[in-house]
Amino acid sequence: MVMQLLLTALALGALYGAIGIGFVIVHRLTGMVNFAMGDIAVAGGFGAVVASAVLPPLGAILVGAVVGAVVSVVMYHLAIHPLRNQSLMVQTIVTLGVGIAIRSLIQLYFGSGPRQFPAITSGPSVDILGGRIPQQSLWLIGITLLGYLGLAYFFDRTLSGKALSAFSVNAYAAGIVGISLTTMATIAFALSGAIAGGVLAAQVPTSFIAAGAGLALGLKGFIAAIMGGFDKLGLTLIGGFLVALAEVVVARYVSAAQASTVVFVLLIVLLILRPQGLTRQVVADRV
More confident residue, 151 or 229: 151
Q: Is 165 a domain residue?
A: yes
Q: Is 88 a domain residue?
A: yes
The per-residue pLDDT for 100 is 95
Our CA angle for 80, 82, 84, nearest 5°, is: 70
Q: 74 — phi, psi (to 5°)?
A: -60, -40
Helix axes 159-169, 135-157, angle to 10 degrees: 80
Q: What are the tens digits of pLDDT across the range 145-162?
A: 999 999 999 988 888 888
CA distance 218 to 19: 7
Domain count, the chain: 1
Compute the mean pLDDT over every residue in the chain, rounded to the nearest whole number. 88
* Contact between 224 and 41 (Cβ < 8 Å): no
Q: Where are the alpha helices (DSSP H) in 31-134?
A: 37-51, 57-75, 88-110
CA distance 223 to 235: 12
More confident residue, 14 or 231: 14
CA distance 232 to 234: 6
**pLDDT-based confidence at 231, cuts 50/70/90?**
confident
* Contact between 240 and 13 (Cβ < 8 Å): yes
Q: Is 282 a domain residue?
A: no
* Contact between 224 and 126 (Cβ < 8 Å): no
CA distance 55 to 73: 24
Q: Is 107 a domain residue?
A: yes
CA distance 150 to 93: 30
Q: What are the tens digits of pLDDT across the range 201-219?
A: 999 988 889 999 999 999 9
Q: 254 — phi, psi (to 5°)?
A: -115, -80
Q: Is 12 a domain residue?
A: yes
Q: Which of 74, 81, 72 is nearest to 34 (CA)?
A: 72
Could you list the residue range(s) of the whole structural domain that residue 148 is in? 2-214
Q: Is 156 a domain residue?
A: yes
Q: Is 234 a domain residue?
A: no
